[in-house]
Each structure stands twice: as C-alpha cells, then as structure tokens.
Structure 1
Amino acid sequence: MMRRHPSHLRLKPLAKQVIVITGATSGIGLSTARAAAARGAALVLAARNEDALKAVAEDLSSKGAEVAFVAADVGREADVRAIAAVAVSRFGGFDTWVNNAGVTIVGPAEQTSLDDQRRLFDTNYWGVVYGSLAAIDQFQNQAGGGALINVGAGDVALPLQAAFFASKHAVKGFTDALRTELMAAHAPVSVTLIKPSGADTPGKDNARNLTGAPIAHPAGIYATPLVAQAILYAAEHRTRELTVGSGGRLLALASQVAPALTDPLLAIGARLNARIAKAPDPARIDNLHHAGRDLRERSFQPGVRETSLYATAQMKPKTTLGLMAAAALAAGFAFKLGARKAAPIDE
C-alpha cells in the first residue's frame, strides 16, 4: 500500500484528471460535470436514472469530453464499488471523487416516517461513506493519490428538514474525522467538505413533500455553478472546507452568539414557508425512493445570487488580502488628507 505524507500531495490540473461525480444528472452534480468537461477533465458520472445519464454523457461527449457513466444507487455499497470499477476499467483510475448525490424530505419531523428517514440516510450519509471508502482505497493504491470532495450543507439546521440536516451534519462529522485519520496515516488524500449556503437546485422540486403546501425556495440562494466552481477548485487545491455564500456562515455565527434570537426567527420562517412558493407540478414524482427524471441544474426561481464574494475570498486568499491591504492604505491616505484639510491655518 502506497503511503506518503499528505504535504507531498500534488493534485493534477483539471485537464489531466479523471473525476467521479455522483448525483450527476441534476443540480450541483450536473453543473459540476458540465464545468469539469469544459475544462478538459474526463468524467465518470453516476446517478440512478440511466436514461438521464446517457443523455448527459452524449451531450458532453458531443462537445469533446471523455465520459463514462454508471447507473447506480449510492445507498448500496455494491453499486458504489461498481462506479469505482468502471473508472478503473475505462481510465485506469481516477483523481477526484465527488460525493454529491442527495435527496430531501420537507415536512415536520414527527410526520416523517422512519422508513423515509432511513432511505434518506442511505443516500445522503451512507452514500458518502461508501464513496469515501471506495475512493480512499483507490487513492492509496495508485500513484499520485487524489482528492475526496464531500458536499455537505450549512451549519444551521432549518425547520421542516430535520432528516436532511441530520444527514448533512453526519456527513460533516464523518468527513472531519476521516480527514484527520488520513493525516495520521500519511495517506495521499486531500479531503474537502463543500458547504453551500443554499443552492438553486431542483432538489426541493423533487423532494418528498409532507407539508400539503408548495415548497418555497428561500431567498438569497446561490446559483449551482458557484458550487461547482468551489468543487473544482478543491479538485486542484488541497482545501479543508469551502463555504459557498456568506449567508450560511453569518447564520451560523448568529446562531452561536444569539440562539435565543435566531431560533424564533427560524420558527417564523417555517410558518411563512408556503406563502411565497410557486405552485408545485402535480405530475412530478419525488425522488426519495425512485430515480428523478430531471436534467436541470437550477430551479429558475427569481433572485438567485450569481456571485459569492465569500467563496471567492476563500479560493483566492492572497488576492483578497492584497485588496484588503490596498483598501486599508487608501482609507488611511484619505483620512490623512482629510485631516490636513481640516487643520487650522496659523494667522
């Protein structure tokens, strides 16, 4: 088994990488697949819907990308191992593995069946575990190691999505513990947690909806290409964690400092949730137990944020520090200039 200190790990440029992406036929996964293909990466795409996978693969292949795909349910360990096997068979291995597949249930916790919660955890948590273990096994036995990227969520659990946020908190705990274990073992693996502060995916359109009302997408969410950009940054740069959007970070800080204020506000938001939503499609079938039929990156709701200065600052820390220093110097110069003009003139 190959071992070396992770400080020696050098991740490849995207154009030289093979990238595995789960949940690749909609939302963040589809955005990431398209962005990675545009930058020259070879892809192994996985999702439950084989027809949707074939459509995505054909589209990307027509634009010059090398693409393999595997119809797989990440909640089944054998399926996840099959994804890795296809990557090894087709490309000789892979350089980045992105655990992105996820499902959502929207409704009160006490009305959410245990079977549905277990099914959600099969995808959102166990899918990450199976994928992480498959990726690590390959990285430790191939030259060059690789990057493991797990897609989580914000640090604050929102009402009416108890099972979803429980699974994402479990993903964070697993990812953080795994990272330090791999560091202790000097494994050639970069482990990154991506935390979107709400992304404009079709996820809630496809969610199991127990509320009896349309599901609102919260205001101030971020376009999925921004999350894809963060994922691809982590594929090339050893990064512990990336948060896309300042909203999630600010909410987490507020919740830590003043929970007596934020908890009631979140409760109010839960009551208002149905009032600002668009009408649901009565023909849509949720994707909890069955493969989704979407080939959409986004929900196309208004007011989606197309930029995230907070994410950019994390990905370009030197540039950000330089701009902050320049701004501080400019402010200092302006202050001194103003002080001189305001100084009294001796008669």
Structure 2
Amino acid sequence: MSVKLRKINEQVMVITGATSGIGLSTARMAAREGARLVLAARADDALDELASELKRAHGTEVITVTADVGKIDDVERIGAAAIERFGRIDTWVNNAGISIYGRLEDVSPEDHHRLFQTNFWGVVNGSLEAVKRMKQRGGGALINVGSELSDHGIPLQGMYAASKHAVKGFTDSLRLELEKEEAPMSVTLVKPSGIDTMFAVHAKNYMDKEPKLPSPVYAPELVADAILYAAQYPKRDVFVGGAAKMNSSGSRMMPRAFDKFVKATMFANQKQERSTDPGRRDALYKPDHTRELRERQGIYKTHERSPYTAASMRSGPVTTALLGGGALLAAFALSRRLAR
C-alpha cells in the first residue's frame, strides 16, 4: 500500500527526548519548517523554556508534556494531549535514550533495567501509542531512533547496544505487521553513528575515566534532517554518517574481522584522558536540569556533512546498494590494515 505523508509545514509532530541533543535539534528544525509540535521530556522547566523559544522565534504552535517514556501512563498522556490540542498526529519520533559506560559485569542490575526501561520500553510504549492514535486518523510516519549499534555490539556500552538491537527487532516486526494489514503508516529506523550531543555527559559512568564517543562524530543536525526527511518520504532505514553504514556492513559480512577491529580500538577510544569526578552527575534516573537545552557537548571534531547519508536518503535502491557496497569495501580495507 502506498503511504502518503504530509509536508513538514502541514504536520503535527510528536518528539520525545526533546530537550537535548538529537531531539532538541529536530524540534528546532521542525519549528523552522512550520510544523506544529508536541514535545515530551522529563525536564519540565526545559520544556517550558524551549516552547517559549520556538513560539518567539517561529510562531510555532507547540504544547509540552512532562513524561518518562518508560511509563505507559505518561506516554498515553502524550498521545491524548496531541489529539486534544491538534486533532491528529502525523509523525511520532521516539528519540529519548540514555547510556551506561562500563563493563557489563560491573553495572548494577538496577541500572541495566533502568536503561532498558527508557531505551527499549520507551520505544515500545511510544510506538504502540502512535499506531493506536494514527491508524484511527489516516496514518502517518513512525520514526524510531536506533543506532549503528542496532547492528553490532561494542564493549563498555554493552547494555546500550543490546537495547538498540531490541529496538531494531521490535521496529522491523511492527513494520511487517502494519504492512500486512495495509495500514497507512510508514515505519523508519534511524541509525546514527556517534553524534555530538550530551550523550556521554548524560550517561552513567562506571569507568575510571570520563566517557566519550569514538570518532568519527557527526553533527546532530544531520540526524534531525534525516528524521524530517523520513517524516515526509517513507524510508525503511536511514544510516546517519558513512561510518554507521561501514560498521554495519563490516559486522554483517566479516564478523570476526570486525570483532578484532572493535576489540583493538573501542576500549581506549571511549575514554577521555581525565579521571572521572567522584561527584559526577548523570541522567539515568532523572534529568540533569543544568545540562538541558544543549544540542552539542562541543568537545569533538565534528563532521558537519555526510555525503553518504545525503545520497542514500534521496536515491533509489540501485544507488543505495552501490553506496552500501562502497561502505563494505571500506570496512574490508580497514580489516586488512588491522590484520597486518
């Protein structure tokens, strides 16, 4: 069934995790393009400030819902608020997420469960609420923010990788069920590479050094652009950053060689040189209000463009396959250099 999606300036868009990083960048970009917005996050003061900013700057029609996406009742309130104010939802973006740095054996069971509550069950709760609301009113786009780690594992963020694998499995299964019943919905999984957000700052840390993202690191606006594109044009998957596609291809086609690459690089490359502050705060259980409304951490050499992502979003299947082949060749060359 052909799914017809509205242009952004005609849309009502729900965005979770809207007060930081990718969610914040997406909210600001969507506001500039004229969308009406339903913004959800745990930080109520930051939500109010963001809503005021968007109204002043763009005249945006926006409502906010203070919500923890891991709680079904909170997510139902997001859907109800959107319908009450705007009468429909055209795009629902499940973006909220958190990470933990540390060896899996060192992390407490409570922290493991809390991460999954947000990263996986938050996506499940949001997706099912979106489907319920959108199927009744003509359909639309469901966009789940996964990760390049939806396709491969990584040390020191093992449970985060597991949660993103689970998000991929859930999203793919939901898409098939909706396609079988010919529901008028597009379901997209966005898989970013490392993105210059407050990701590492918000993560809980069990390591003796401050955490960081391994390079290459890309701009959050690239993910926001991919999300807004998928909100208007049905896409199954979007990799943000050529490195994301290369790593996915390498792990699938050359798993043992890719394991060696990850083992050789990803322990050191996820640690800064400076020691962790004993009083370090994180956002695993509650928001850090002092670090909200920031799109970027600003410590990385950030790639502001991704030719791969730009080409793959706007190309047909043949070009996309050729781009994927190029990424695979790059992964193969990298594995050969590592083996020497």
Q: TM-score, normalised by structure 1?
A: 0.87
Deviates more, 1:263-272 or 1:32-41: 263-272
Q: Note if contact 2:156-2:267 (Cα within 8 Å) is conserved in structure 1.
A: no
Q: Which residue of 1 aligns with 2:102?
A: 107
Letter matched to residue 149 of structure 1: I
Structure 2 unpaired stretches of 5+: 323-340
CA distance in 1 between counterparts of 2:94 and 2:277 reads 28
Letter in 2 for 1:120: L
Which amino acid in structure 2 is aligned with residue 148 of structure 1?
L
Once residues 180 and 305 of structure 1 are traced to their aligned partners in structure 2, the CA distance between those partners, rounded to angstroms, is: 34
CA contact (8 A) 2:22 2:295 kept: yes
What is the CA deviation profile of residues 262-316 of structure 1, one whole-angstrom value per residue up to 9, with x for unaligned ones? 2232223243136545666766521111123221111112311100111111222
Tell me the equivalent position of 1:337: none
1:280 and 1:309, CA in 2 relative to 1: closer, same or farther beyond 3 A? Answer: farther
**Offset, 1:30:** 0.2
Instruction: State how far apart, in whole Å, the 2-side matches of 1:277 and 1:52 are.
Output: 31
Give matches, 1:9-48, under 5 Å.
9-48=3-42
2:334 aligned partner: none
Show the counterpart of 2:298: 300
Pairing 1:1-347 to 2, within 5 Å after superposition: 6-7=1-2, 9-63=3-57, 64-142=59-137, 144-154=138-148, 155-273=151-269, 276-277=272-273, 284-293=280-289, 294-317=292-315
What is the root-mean-square deviation in Å for CA atoms of aligned residues? 1.9
- Contact 1:217–1:277 (8 Å) recurs in 2: no
CA distance in 2, matches of 1:250, 1:175: 22
Count of equivalent residues = 315
Query: What is the one-letter code of the residue matched to 1:230?
Result: A
In 2: Cα distance, 1:61 partner to 1:277 partner: 41
Seen in structure 2, the aligned counterparts of structure 1 residues 200 and 138 have a Cα distance that, compared at 3 Å, is same
Judge conservation of contact 1:216–1:278 (CA < 8 Å) in 2.
no
Q: Separation in 2 of the partners of 1:282 and 1:17?
A: 45
User: Are the aligned partners of 2:213 and 2:270 in contact in 1 as well (CA < 8 Å)?
Assistant: no
Distance 1:164 1:281 in 2: 22
Kept in 1: contact 2:155–2:267 (CA 8 A):
no
The answer (yes or no) to whether the contact 2:217–2:300 under 8 Å persists in 1 is no
Letter of the 1:12 partner, please give it.
R
Q: Mean alpha-carbon deviation: is it higher for 149-158 or for 173-182? A: 149-158
Instruction: Give the letter for the 1:186 counterpart.
Output: E
Q: Gapped runs of 5+ residues in structure 1?
A: 1-5, 325-347
Query: CA 1:147/1:33 → structure 2, altered by over 3 Å: closer, same or farther?
Result: same
Judged with a 3 Å threshold, the aligned counterparts in structure 2 of structure 1 residues 279 and 312 are, in CA distance, closer, same or farther, namely farther
| 8 Å contact kept, 1:206–1:284 | no
1:171-209 residue CA offsets vs partner (Å, 9 max, x unmatched): 000000100100001111110000001111101111000
Q: Tell me the SS of whatever aligns to 2:120.
A: helix
Percentage of pairs with the same residue: 48
CA contact (8 A) 2:40 2:64 kept: yes
Provide closer, same or farther for how the CA distance between residues 276 and 116 of structure 1 changes in structure 2, counting only shifts above 3 A: closer
Q: Distance in 1 between matches of 2:145 and 2:210?
A: 26
The structure with more radius of gyration: 1
Q: Distance in 1 between matches of 2:18 and 2:288?
A: 11
Distance, in Å, in 2 between the alignment partners of 1:296 and 1:282 is: 24
Query: Cα distance, 1:217 vs. partner?
Result: 2.0
Match of 1:145, as an amino acid?
A: G
The Cα shift of 1:249 comes to 1.4
CA gap 1:208/1:317 in 2 versus in 1, 3 angstroms = same
- Are residues 21 and 277 of structure 1, via their aligned partners in 2, closer, same or farther at CA, if it must alter by over 3 Å? farther
> Is the 1:139–1:146 contact (alpha carbons within 8 Å) kept by the matching residues of 2?
yes
In structure 2, C-alpha distance between the alignment counterparts of 1:312 and 1:136, rounded to whole Å: 28
Q: In the aligned structure 1, how far is the partner of 2:181 from the partner of 2:238? A: 24
**What is the rounded CA distance, in whole Å, between the counterparts of 2:163 and 2:313 in structure 1?**
26
- The answer as to whether partners of 1:205 and 1:280 remain within 8 angstroms in 2 is no
Change (3 A) 1:113 1:283: closer
2:214 touches 2:266 (CA, 8 Å); kept in 1?
Answer: no
Q: CA separation in 2, counterparts of 1:278 and 1:298? A: 20
